[in-house]
Amino acid sequence: MTASRPLHRLARQFTAFFGVGLVAAVVHYGLLIALVEAARLHPVPATLAGYVAGGLVSYVLNRRHTYGSDRPHREATWRFAAVAFVGFLVTWFLMHAFTVWLNGPYLPSQIVTTGVVMLWSFMAHKMWTFA
């Protein structure tokens, strides 16, 4: 019973992280699609703009609902920004590779990219940003 408690807590955190991620993804993908389809922006800069907008939503919701962190904002903010910056670079690289080098469609490319960045972000925020 005792050994299952940390596993249960991790599952609850990941579920909350996933829920927050859905909200952030709606913001990210909404801006991405609007910039590509309406503004005719290339998918790479459009997804980076969406990433930043979704990241702002993610910080507020994850701090409160996922990790329940009491780390002061002055510490958590720069840590979150560092993790987000790595995610930003991974997003740029993968989207560039998929849409420019491989000439793939931007939405399936973004779905794969989101999965990779989500795993990175969850672990980095759990072990470092909000620990």
∠ CA 87-62-51, rounded to 5°: 35
The rounded distance, in Å, linking the Cα atoms of 97 and 43 is 12
What tokens appear for 90 in the block?
Answer: 């991974």
Among 34-48, 70-84, 87-101, the minimum mean pLDDT is found in 70-84
Number of compact structural domains in the chain: 1
**What domain range includes position 124?**
4-129
Query: Residues 111-124: what's their mean pLDDT?
Result: 93
Phi/psi class of residue 103: alpha, beta or left (left: φ > 0; alpha: ψ in -120 to 50)? Answer: left
Query: Residues 74-98: what's their mean pLDDT?
Result: 94
Q: Does the reported pTM lie above 0.95?
A: no
2: confidence class by pLDDT, cuts 50, 70, 90: low
Instruction: Give kind and range of the element (H or E) at residue 78.
Output: helix 73-96
**CB neighbour list of residue 110: distance below 8 Å, 6 or more residues apart:** 29, 32, 43, 47, 95
pLDDT tens per residue across span 12-57: 888 998 899 899 999 999 999 999 999 999 999 999 999 999 999 9
Query: Residues 63-90: what's their mean pLDDT?
Result: 88
